[in-house]
């Protein structure tokens, strides 16, 4: 899935995440907890049925569920308590469900016919025993063991399970394996309901008397069960709603090796949110409204469309039938097999049985009035579907997908396994795209572009298509066993999207984008609230939160680092070996490293597992400090944690492939030297002394470098004398690192400004956009703190350093993607700082645009700048709102939304926020974009925060707790706060939410960010006052 709102053109204007400490503990690695299940005798021993299902290759990650569940609840509670400044002694037992199976196990005590003294003794005794029990009870069984305590599961039910429900865990038992699903779905787009029949053929893996599977919001009307060739008989279905599970209990035990069939009839409403089987509508250019139904199942919503074993490791085949009206089409994962008439107004489409086994989250179906262009590519029929009005806009995606399909067929050395591949643009779709096997769904912006769309818009489409196509191998063919290893899907697809585009579409200049992605991943991972790439994820919220920058962007960054470290071809050879070995199966991270190690090219040997474990099993990344004395170079590593106080010091070490170049050879790849730093400090000897060293060549490594005062001074001097002494990636990397170090408190802000002095000679996109992004972040923080004098001086500083370049930008069509990126960042900044030349030009363009009634084309990369300036007057705003209804391109519509949301008029801010929430002005999918844009402005940022607080419940109805949309809303509304008062307010609000969101990682991240902002502002304000 691509959950990101990829509006890269605005990168330089977006606030970058910043960081502050919190007091959370390091996340230990996932370990085997099952073996500890006897530590608490009161807890019933696991029967074989109760070991949660893990496929054969994931033994290391088997999680038992026992006393440890409580530990985490305690630990979370403790963390929260500390976070909220609460006394840990005050914890109430009320947060523990009274029906907890553990409390029921307390042994009965009695004092028969007691005397008063005996009573006192008894009471005292009871208090002591109770206290000790409590202490022992709260201390995990592993407390006194040599290995200490692993982080436990958090799967204690929040509500008591009814006495009849035969299962007490979030993960399903592994006694039953589904083999095939026959699904029949009958959606009614008039009543927005559907009925369905699911026939599941299953195999018994362990003797059992129960079958447990998932179902959510389905009204099951009939259930029959059949063993082997026996007669089907009616069965009662039990439901436990809090965990979205249903179960049947059997009188006789099913025996290992038996086959059985469960048939379930049900009805349900089409979902009004963006997951499950949901309804959507759009209005065509004639004003006619059309409705459609589509699916989005990843990660946990297949259960909302059909009862199923909704975990990625339960792969099965699928045969899908859907009824529809004759003027609609139906699409599913597989090609259409046949169509039969049911009635005069209803036909039934039956699709081929899937030729490969699939995880449930990859199943998809759509009923809509779409049209397509299609083409045969290496035995696969590739089609791109859209609403009829936009059919012409699908050609670019068809060309791109065709080319990329051939690329991946060759690169992975395994042909795409299905006979067809559909790419479908859905008018109302929350994520960027979703990789359903054979039926990839997209937002319109991520798939549709016209001939005259800008290269930057085409770059976005190509990039999302490349990501989703890579998933057809990474994710679909070989799937992670559980969501803790989501990065195996997402990190890989993200890495492949950049690699494939660099090879197949060099004109799209994807390199800068990938560099920016790595910087963003570092920013998130420098927070204490970050998590390991392979992290524990048990509850639905935790699973949802795995779809974040760590899984995607850090995942891709460490793969880049690894590929740059291994001998040429080893990486690809290892990947091909891995895909072949696990084709159709599920895996864990370790298997990937094993395959990559096995592909070694002698005499070179690298234990990939040993190196990569340091990058995937611990959170964060290293700060490498380098110092030179003559030809002796000392390298040190420590955890780059922006909140490095005594309570959060960690002893983490990484295997870092440190690359370096020096003043005599710094540009060509051949100049690059590598040294693997494994311990805390090591020394290396150079062939001779050097004037300076630049580490992390082209920033392919996932670490930040500190050069010490002398080192920074030498590099600054070298750049001031000659900009081209380093590659543009290296220059961007220096700018990124020095700002990060300033936040850490390692370099003074004076040193930052000193380095930036060279910028007047800089012309390349990557270093310029990085510098602008960093300066914009400070500008916005000062602005929100109402430091008006400093804001004015910062404005002058930016215009002094970048003004000449801003002036030299053209306002006509520009072909180069890189130049578009730069122009958009420069003019976006200039106009937001109200630089006269920029605003005058933009006003002119806007006037011509409105007068032409939208027929005049403004270059895609400048649309946002022009519309935003235009939207600052009442007439301009109203004209733009009208224009919104007429514009066809979704990409342009989104820029209009951003412009409307950038208004500084408070009445209109309220109007747009409310209109977004009610779906009156825009589709609700755009609400996160509206909120984030409103938050960027001075007038709007407090409104946006109030709006989120007041409408929280409605927001989480649309965008579930933990979802990427909610993560983005929290981040955009809080990341510009930098005062104690705001910290208290944000903390107070999220604490009050309790189970409605307080436990989200993004909340911890928000609080850390505010603390960091606060500390950073306090540190740099004196320098800014002196130096600006
Ligand atoms: Zn993805």
- pLDDT tens for each residue of 447-486: 999 877 888 999 999 999 999 999 999 999 999 999 999 9
Where does the pLDDT of residue 99 fall: very low under 50, low under 70, confident under 90, or very high at 90 and above?
very low
pLDDT of residue 604: 78
Where does the pLDDT of residue 890 fall: very low under 50, low under 70, confident under 90, or very high at 90 and above?
confident
830-845: average pLDDT:
96
Where does the pLDDT of residue 116 fall: very low under 50, low under 70, confident under 90, or very high at 90 and above?
low
What is the rounded distance in angstroms from the CA atom of residue 408 to the CA atom of residue 380?
13
633-650: average pLDDT:
80
Quote the DSSP letter at residue 115: -
What is the rounded distance in angstroms from the CA atom of residue 283 to the CA atom of residue 281?
7
Please name every residue paired with 635 in a beta bridge, in sequence order, or none if there are none.
626, 682
By the CB criterion, residues less than 5 angstroms from ion ligand 1 are 1, 490, 493
Judged against a pLDDT cut of 60, whether residue 118 lies above it is answered with no
Of 338-342, 515-519, 887-891, the least confident: 887-891
Judge contact between 865 and 824, C-beta under 8 A: yes
Q: Percent of the chain at pLDDT above 70?
A: 84
Long-range contacts of 135-141 (CB under 8 A, 24+ apart): 137/70, 137/102, 138/70, 138/71, 138/74, 140/39, 140/67, 140/68, 140/70, 140/71, 141/36, 141/39, 141/40, 141/67
* CA 494 to centroid of ligand 1, rounded, Å: 7
Of 143-152, 255-264, 300-309, the least confident: 143-152
Q: Write out the DSSP string of 731-770.
A: HHHHHHHHHHHHHHTSS-HHHHHHHHGGGGG---HHHHHH
* CA 474 to centroid of ligand 1, rounded, Å: 9
Where does the pLDDT of residue 998 fall: very low under 50, low under 70, confident under 90, or very high at 90 and above?
confident
pLDDT of residue 450: 86
What is the rounded distance in angstroms from the CA atom of residue 114 to the CA atom of residue 135?
28
Q: How many other CB atoms are there within 10 angstroms of residue 66's CB atom?
A: 25
Judge contact between 752 and 739, C-beta under 8 A: yes
Of 77-81, 197-201, 673-677, the least confident: 77-81
What is the rounded distance in angstroms from the CA atom of residue 123 to the CA atom of residue 1014?
51
Judged against a pLDDT cut of 80, whether residue 23 lies above it is answered with no
pLDDT of residue 149: 37
* CA 492 to centroid of ligand 1, rounded, Å: 8
Quote the DSSP letter at residue 66: S
DSSP 3-state assignment of 6? coil
Judged against a pLDDT cut of 70, whether residue 504 lies above it is answered with yes
Please name every residue paired with 368 in a beta bridge, in sequence order, or none if there are none.
329
- pLDDT tens for each residue of 968-986: 999 999 999 999 999 999 9
- Order across the sheet with 176-188: list the strands: 233-234, 219-227, 259-269, 193-204, 176-188, 317-324, 346-351, 336-343
pLDDT of residue 9: 36
* CA 486 to centroid of ligand 1, rounded, Å: 9
pLDDT of residue 891: 86
Dihedral, CA atoms, 361, 365, 371, 374, nearest 10 degrees? 60
Judge contact between 554 and 523, C-beta under 8 A: no
Judge contact between 429 and 442, C-beta under 8 A: yes
What is the rounded distance in angstroms from the CA atom of residue 140 to the CA atom of residue 150?
10
What is the rounded distance in angstroms from the CA atom of residue 976 to the CA atom of residue 972?
8
Dihedral, CA atoms, 746, 554, 402, 375, nearest 10 degrees? -130
- Order across the sheet with 329-332: list the strands: 276-283, 289-296, 365-368, 329-332
* CA 435 to centroid of ligand 1, rounded, Å: 7
- pLDDT tens for each residue of 532-559: 999 999 999 999 999 999 999 999 999 9
* CA 452 to centroid of ligand 1, rounded, Å: 28
DSSP 3-state assignment of 488? helix
Where does the pLDDT of residue 147 fall: very low under 50, low under 70, confident under 90, or very high at 90 and above?
very low
Judged against a pLDDT cut of 70, whether residue 659 lies above it is answered with yes
Judge contact between 766 and 731, C-beta under 8 A: yes
pLDDT of residue 645: 62
Active site residues: 468
As a three-state string, the secondary structure of 925-985 is HHHHHHHHHHHHCCCCHHHHHHHHHHCHHHHHHHCCCCCHHHHHHHHHHHCCCCCHHHHHH
Where does the pLDDT of residue 83 fall: very low under 50, low under 70, confident under 90, or very high at 90 and above?
very low
- pLDDT tens for each residue of 717-757: 999 999 999 999 999 999 999 999 999 989 999 999 999 99
**Spatial CB neighbours of 567, under 8 Å, sequence gap ≥ 6:** 601, 604
Judged against a pLDDT cut of 60, whether residue 646 lies above it is answered with no
Judged against a pLDDT cut of 90, whether residue 578 lies above it is answered with yes
The model carries a pTM of: 0.84
- Please name which of 577, 410, 574, 575 lies closest in space to residue 503, comparing C-alpha atoms: 410
Dihedral, CA atoms, 863, 866, 870, 871, nearest 10 degrees? 50
φ, ψ for residue 729, nearest 5 deg: -65, -40
Where does the pLDDT of residue 295 fall: very low under 50, low under 70, confident under 90, or very high at 90 and above?
very high
CA 370 to chain CA centroid, Å, is: 29
* CA 1 to centroid of ligand 1, rounded, Å: 3
Bridge-based pairing of strands 673-677 and 656-662 is: antiparallel
Query: Each residue of 419-443: b (16+ CB within 10 Å) or e?
Result: ebbbbbbbbbbbbbbbbbbbbbbbb
* CA 434 to centroid of ligand 1, rounded, Å: 7
Q: How far is CA 786 from CA 232, 584, 976, 978, 979, in A?
A: 73, 58, 12, 11, 11
Bridge-based pairing of strands 586-587 and 479-480 is: parallel
Bridge-based pairing of strands 681-685 and 380-386 is: unpaired
- Mean of the per-residue pLDDT values for the chain? 85
pLDDT of residue 136: 39
Judge contact between 616 and 532, C-beta under 8 A: yes
| Between 603 and 256, residue with greater pLDDT | 256
- pLDDT tens for each residue of 926-966: 999 999 999 999 989 999 999 999 999 999 988 988 888 99
Judge contact between 510 and 502, C-beta under 8 A: yes
Where does the pLDDT of residue 769 fall: very low under 50, low under 70, confident under 90, or very high at 90 and above?
very high
* CA 333 to centroid of ligand 1, rounded, Å: 17
825-835: average pLDDT:
96
* CA 484 to centroid of ligand 1, rounded, Å: 15
pLDDT of residue 617: 95
Where does the pLDDT of residue 355 fall: very low under 50, low under 70, confident under 90, or very high at 90 and above?
confident
């Amino acid at each position: 899935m691509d959950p990101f709102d990829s509006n890269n053109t605005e990168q330089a204007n977006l606030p970058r995440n910043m960081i502050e400490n919190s007091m959370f503990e390091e996340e230990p690695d996932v370990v085997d907890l099952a073996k500890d299940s006897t530590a608490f005798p009161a807890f019933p021993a696991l029967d074989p049925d109760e070991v949660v299902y893990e496929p054969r290759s994931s033994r290391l990650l088997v999680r038992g569920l026992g006393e440890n569940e409580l530990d985490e609840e305690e630990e979370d509670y403790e963390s929260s308590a500390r976070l909220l400044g609460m006394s840990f002694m005050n914890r109430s037992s009320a947060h523990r469900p009274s029906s907890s199976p553990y409390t029921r196990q307390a042994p009965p005590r009695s004092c028969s016919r007691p005397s008063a003294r005996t009573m006192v003794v008894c009471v005292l005794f009871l208090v002591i025993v109770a206290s000790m029990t409590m202490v022992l009870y709260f201390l995990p069984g592993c407390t006194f063991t040599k290995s200490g305590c692993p982080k436990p599961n958090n799967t204690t039910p929040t509500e008591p399970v009814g006495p009849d429900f035969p299962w007490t865990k979030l993960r399903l038992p592994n006694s039953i394996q589904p083999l095939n699903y026959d699904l029949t779905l009958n959606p009614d787009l008039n009543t927005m309901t559907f009925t369905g029949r699911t026939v599941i053929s299953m195999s018994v893996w362990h003797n059992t008397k129960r079958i447990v599977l998932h179902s959510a919001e389905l009204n099951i009307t009939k259930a029959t069960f059949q063993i082997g060739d026996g007669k089907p008989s009616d069965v009662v279905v039990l439901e436990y709603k809090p965990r979205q599970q249903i179960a049947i209990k059997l009188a006789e035990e099913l025996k290992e090796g038996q086959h059985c069939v469960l048939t379930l009839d049900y009805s349900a409403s089409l979902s009004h949110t963006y997951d499950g089987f949901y309804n959507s509508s759009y209005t065509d250019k004639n004003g006619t409204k059309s409705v459609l139904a589509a699916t989005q199942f990843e990660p946990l919503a297949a259960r909302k469309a059909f009862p199923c074993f909704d975990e990625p490791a339960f792969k099965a085949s699928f045969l899908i039938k859907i009824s529809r009206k004759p003027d609609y089409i139906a699409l599913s994962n597989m090609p259409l097999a046949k169509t039969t008439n049911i009635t005069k107004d209803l036909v039934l489409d039956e699709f081929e049985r899937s030729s490969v086994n699939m995880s449930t989250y990859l199943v998809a179906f759509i009923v809509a009035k779409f049209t397509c262009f299609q083409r045969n590519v290496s035995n696969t029929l590739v089609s791109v579907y859209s609403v009829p009005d936009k059919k012409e806009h699908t050609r670019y995606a068809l060309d791109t997908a065709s080319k990329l399909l051939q690329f991946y067929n060759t690169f992975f050395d395994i042909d795409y396994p299905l006979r067809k591949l559909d790419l479908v643009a859905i008018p109302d779709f929350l994520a960027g795209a979703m990789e359903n096997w054979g039926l990839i769904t997209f937002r319109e912006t991520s798939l549709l572009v016209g001939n005259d769309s800008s290269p930057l818009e085409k770059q976005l489409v190509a990039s999302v298509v490349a990501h989703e196509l890579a998933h057809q191998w990474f994710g679909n063919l070989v799937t992670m066993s559980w969501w803790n290893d989501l990065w195996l899907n997402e990190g890989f697809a993200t890495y492949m999207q950049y690699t494939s585009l660099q090879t197949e579409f060099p004109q799209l200049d994807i390199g800068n984008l990938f560099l920016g992605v790595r910087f963003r991943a570092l920013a998130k991972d420098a927070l204490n609230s970050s998590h390991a790439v392979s992290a524990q994820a048990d509850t639905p919220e935790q699973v949802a939160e795995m779809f974040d920058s760590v899984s995607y962007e850090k995942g891709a960054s460490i793969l880049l680092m690894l590929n740059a470290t291994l001998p040429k071809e080893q990486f690809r050879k290892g990947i091909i070996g891995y895909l072949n070995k696990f084709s159709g199966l599920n895996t864990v991270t370790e298997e990937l490293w094993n395959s990559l190690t096995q592909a070694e090219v002698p005499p070179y040997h690298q234990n990939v597992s040993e190196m990569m474990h340091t990058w995937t099993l611990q959170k964060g990344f290293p700060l490498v400090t380098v110092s030179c004395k003559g030809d002796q170079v000392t390298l040190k590593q420590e955890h780059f944690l922006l909140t490095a106080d005594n309570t959060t010091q960690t002893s983490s070490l990484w295997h870092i492939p440190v690359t370096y170049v020096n003043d005599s050879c710094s540009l060509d790849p051949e100049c690059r030297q590598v040294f693997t730093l494994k311990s805390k400090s090591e020394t290396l000897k150079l062939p001779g002394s050097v004037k300076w060293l630049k580490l992390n060549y082209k920033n392919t490594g996932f670490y930040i470098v500190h050069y010490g005062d002398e080192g920074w001074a030498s590099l600054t001097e070298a750049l001031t004398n000659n900009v081209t002494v380093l590659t543009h990636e290296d220059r961007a990397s220096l700018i990124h690192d020095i700002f990060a170090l300033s936040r850490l408190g390692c370099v003074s802000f004076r040193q930052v400004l000193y380095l930036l002095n060279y910028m007047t000679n800089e012309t390349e996109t990557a270093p310029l956009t990085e510098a602008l992004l960093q300066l914009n972040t400070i500008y916005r923080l000062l602005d929100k703190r109402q430091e008006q004098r400093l804001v004015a001086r910062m404005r002058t500083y930016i215009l002094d350093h970048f003004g000449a370049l801003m002036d030299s930008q053209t306002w006509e069509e520009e072909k180069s993607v890189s130049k578009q990126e730069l122009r958009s960042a420069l003019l976006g900044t200039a106009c937001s700082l109200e630089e006269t030349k920029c605003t005058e030009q933009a006003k002119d363009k806007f006037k011509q645009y409105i007068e032409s009634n939208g027929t005049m084309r403004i270059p895609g990369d400048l649309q946002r700048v022009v519309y935003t300036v235009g939207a600052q007057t009442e007439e301009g705003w109203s004209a733009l709102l009208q224009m919104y209804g007429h514009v066809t391109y979704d990409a342009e519509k989104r820029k209009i939304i951003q412009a409307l949301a950038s208004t500084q008029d408070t009445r209109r801010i309220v109007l747009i926020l409310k209109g977004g929430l009610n779906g009156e002005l825009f589709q609700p999918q755009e609400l996160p974009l509206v909120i984030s844009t409103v938050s960027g402005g001075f007038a709007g940022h407090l409104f946006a925060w109030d709006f989120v607080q007041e409408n929280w419940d409605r927001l989480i109805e649309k965008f579930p707790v933990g979802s990427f949309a909610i993560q983005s809303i929290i981040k955009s509304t809080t990341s510009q706060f930098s005062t104690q008062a705001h910290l208290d307010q944000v903390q107070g609000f999220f604490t009050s939410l309790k189970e409605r969101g307080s436990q989200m990682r993004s909340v911890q991240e928000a609080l850390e960010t505010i603390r960091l902002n606060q500390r950073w502002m306090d540190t740099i304000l004196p320098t800014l006052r002196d130096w600006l």
